């Protein structure tokens, strides 16, 4: 079922809520697996350092490899999704995660862990092109805001689950058992998606190179000449750098500036992600309301992310103390989360007909680029003891993301 078909349905005969909810739930489950797999290795780095005699630089390289492969693969996989459909690519991606978990359970050294990073990066690469192709084709337009909200929310929950799952099972048994359990989790998800595979079928759009309403001339690569695509890419790059600051450095900043305990500082990241999930849930209702009131998506993104940047700058002043900083950083997660569904709706509006996979693959690869370069940029500040500047830098990146979002909206309005 294509987007055009859904959009042509008469108001008297809407798509049943049960049908849309099933598609949204299945795609959300797959997206949670993707974010779970971002952290397939990281929570157990201390164990690998101990058991295999590795350095922090060694384990850090594993994440660099993961995000480089995921970023390059994400841009390329969009072309594959547009050609063969999202469903087979999605199944192959989860299969890669399954192989990565099995490889982790058998790892005997650094080479085995590097294989895990490669397999997990390959598995993660096609998720955004697959997910958004399915949602845009199979969910009715009136519910797309809620679909994008659920998509972002489930991703945050996947991030929150991975450390608890892997570290918890390791504490009860050992880390190899934890990865066996992760493999069983992937098998269960893959089995459920296969059972409900009819709900994940997408239509491959056959295009003439210069068809009216289609992608710009230039064949499969014509969309790369659209400035709006690169504005979207830039938006994801900067907004992800802010997230990377929180995930990688916020606990260390809290300990250094405010003497917060390691346990409490680490919980700040979980609080940020849970508040982000709550914000995405609220953002789904907000974008649905905005569509009825003809409020633009870029306006919502600008106001919510601008508020998040202001909150981060407040944290950087040091005026709030330890507890206050933890609370306000969590509120920052909520503000950024609210923007999530509007952000995805903005990109949908910027996507030429028949190019969903390629456009989403390209612009979302900005996520991986942001994750890859943020540690290099902000790590220098941390090494020099400029802790407040690191948080302020995260706020600045968020403000630059706001500028990019407004740039996307301006170019959509002019087209």
Report whether 121 contacts 75 (CB < 8 A): no
Report whether 251 contacts 325 (CB < 8 A): no
Mean pLDDT of 198-204: 87
**pLDDT value for 83:** 86
Pick from 79, 168, 155: which is nearest to 344 by CA? 155
Q: What percent of the chain has pLDDT over 70?
A: 86
Mean pLDDT of 4-26: 67
**pLDDT value for 352:** 67
Q: In the 8-state DSSP scheme, what is residue 413?
A: H
Mean pLDDT of 160-181: 90
**pLDDT value for 4:** 39
CA 73 to centroid of chain Cα atoms:
15
* Domains, the chain, with CATH or none: 17-203 (1.20.1250.20), 221-415 (1.20.1250.20)
Q: What percent of the chain has pLDDT over 90?
A: 32
Taking 70 as the threshold, does the pLDDT of residue 224 lie above it?
A: no
pTM of the predicted protein model: 0.73
Report whether 182 contacts 303 (CB < 8 A): no
Question: 2: burial class by Cβ within 10 Å (0-12, 13-18, 19+)?
Answer: middle
Q: pLDDT-based confidence at 12, cuts 50/70/90?
A: very low
Mean pLDDT of 164-179: 91
Residue, of 104 and 299, whose pLDDT is higher: 104
**pLDDT value for 217:** 47
**pLDDT value for 263:** 64
**pLDDT value for 213:** 47
Angle made by CA atoms 246, 402, 275, in degrees to the nearest 5: 40
Taking 80 as the threshold, does the pLDDT of residue 269 lie above it?
A: no
- Residues 6 or more apart from 98 whose CB is under 8 A from it? 183, 186, 187, 190
**pLDDT value for 3:** 39
3-state secondary structure of 174: coil
Residue, of 201 and 296, whose pLDDT is higher: 201
Residues 31-58: tens digit of each pLDDT: 999 999 988 988 888 788 889 998 767 8
The answer to which of 4-13, 269-278, 388-397 has the lowest mean pLDDT is: 4-13
Mean pLDDT of the chain: 83
Residues 329-367: tens digit of each pLDDT: 999 999 998 888 777 777 777 666 666 667 777 777 787
Report whether 339 contacts 304 (CB < 8 A): yes
Taking 80 as the threshold, does the pLDDT of residue 294 lie above it?
A: no
Residues 394-414: tens digit of each pLDDT: 999 999 999 988 887 777 766
Report whether 237 contacts 400 (CB < 8 A): no
Q: Where are the beta strands (DSSP E) in 129-196?
A: none
Q: pLDDT-based confidence at 7, cuts 50/70/90?
A: very low
Q: How far apart are CA 235 and CA 409, in angstroms?
A: 12
Mean pLDDT of 121-134: 91
């Amino acid at each position: 079922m294509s987007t055009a078909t859904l959009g042509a349905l008469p108001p008297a005969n809407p798509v049943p809520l049960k049908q849309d909810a099933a598609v949204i739930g299945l795609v959300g489950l797959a997206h949670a697996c993707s974010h779970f797999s971002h952290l397939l290795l990281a929570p157990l780095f201390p164990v690998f350092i101990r058991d295999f005699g590795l350095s922090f630089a060694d384990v850090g390289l594993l994440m660099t490899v993961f995000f480089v492969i995921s970023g390059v693969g994400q841009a390329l996989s969009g072309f594959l999704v547009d050609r063969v459909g999202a469903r087979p690519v999605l199944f192959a991606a989860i299969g890669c995660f399954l192989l990565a978990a099995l490889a982790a359970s058998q790892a005997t050294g650094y080479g085995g862990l590097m294989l895990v990073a490669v397999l997990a990066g390959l598995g993660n690469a096609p998720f955004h092109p697959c997910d958004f192709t399915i949602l845009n084709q199979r969910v009715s337009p009136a519910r797309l805001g809620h679909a994008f909200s659920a998509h972002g929310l489930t991703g945050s929950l996947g991030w929150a689950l991975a450390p608890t799952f892997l570290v918890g099972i390791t504490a009860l048994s050992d880390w190899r058992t934890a990865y066996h359990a992760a493999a069983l989790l992937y098998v269960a998800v893959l089995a459920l998606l296969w059972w409900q595979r009819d709900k994940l079928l997408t239509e491959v759009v056959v295009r003439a190179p210069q068809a009216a309403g289609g992608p710009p001339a230039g064949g499969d690569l014509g969309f790369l000449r659209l400035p709006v695509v690169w504005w979207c890419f830039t938006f994801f790059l900067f907004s992800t750098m802010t997230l990377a600051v929180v995930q990688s450095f916020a606990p260390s900043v809290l300990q250094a500036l405010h003497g917060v305990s390691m346990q409490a500082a680490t919980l700040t990241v979980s609080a940020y992600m849970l508040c982000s999930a709550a914000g995405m849930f609220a953002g789904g209702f907000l974008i649905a309301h905005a569509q009825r009131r003809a409020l633009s998506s870029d306006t919502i993104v600008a106001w919510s992310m601008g508020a998040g940047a202001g909150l981060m700058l407040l944290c950087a002043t040091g005026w709030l103390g330890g507890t206050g900083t933890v609370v306000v950083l969590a509120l920052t997660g909520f503000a950024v989360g609210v923007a999530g569904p509007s952000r995805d709706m903005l990109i949908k509006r910027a996507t030429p007909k028949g190019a969903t996979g390629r456009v989403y693959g390209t612009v979302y690869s900005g996520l991986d680029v942001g994750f890859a370069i943020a540690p290099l940029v902000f790590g220098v500040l941390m090494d020099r003891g400029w802790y407040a500047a690191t948080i302020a830098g995260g706020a600045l990146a968020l403000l630059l993301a706001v500028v990019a979002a407004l740039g996307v909206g301006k170019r959509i309005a002019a087209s």
